[in-house]
Structure 1
Amino acid sequence: MKIGIVGMPLTGKTTLFNLLTGQHKETSAYSSKGTKNIGVATVYDQRIKYLSSLYHPKKTTYAAIEFVDIGGISPELPTKEKVEIFSLIQDAEALLFVIRLFEDQAVAGEEDPVVQIENLKCEL
């Protein structure tokens, strides 16, 4: 499964991506300019482990989720960058919205999560 992580700029998308995939991508000045991070998280399941111990297969394969950290979406983005972002979004099987629930003077935009979700949906 491929999940696209989307949200407005500086909401914590890359931080969440790093947590889910175990990677250490730069988070301070992450830009949407055509960059994306791709990582895979393995979903370990005790039931699979148990079945493998019973049947001793040559190989045990756990489920994997591919995460794509897509650059921040905002109304100010040039059309070319929006097209690049939307092509990444179309490639995803599911979207994970990241909404800012913290105060930060350096981050412009609405702090109300309901308004953020509506703004993000309008951009998509």
Structure 2
Amino acid sequence: MDNAEWKKRLSELQYKILREADTEDPWTGAYLKVKTAGVYHCAACNNPLFASGTKFNSKTGWPSFWQPVHPERVITRPDPRYNMERTEVLCAHCDGHLGHVFNDGPQPTGLRYCVNSVALYLRPSKDATDRP
């Protein structure tokens, strides 16, 4: 899909985050405090990304997860922007920017996938450990 089509499909903020790798302001995301069971999907392409059972309160201002539903659902790459050493997380299906992953999360993985709410869509279900 080209940029013009993405601009038609996504809101202005979704486009800035998913296609231009911007970041929503901390503590403002719609999913920050949500505890509903279900699976979080990519807001751009509907790729299932994170089960609600892996979501935790990282106290960072963004929804955080300790693992994706399947490793192949996300891709990571170094992100040297802003003179920081970070690892960017992208949707493996549409290359949409989701956020970053850090090595300061809870066990069993020790990872913290710090994700922009606007990059997600929650599909509620009865089971917080759903794995599509």
Structure with higher Rg: it is: 1
User: What TM-score does the superposition give when structure 1 sets the normalisation length?
Assistant: 0.28
Give the number of the structure whose residues are more often helix, by fraction. 1
Give the number of the structure whose residues are more often strand, by fraction. 2
RCO higher in structure (CA 8 A, sep ≥6): 1
User: What TM-score does the superposition give when structure 2 sets the normalisation length?
Assistant: 0.27
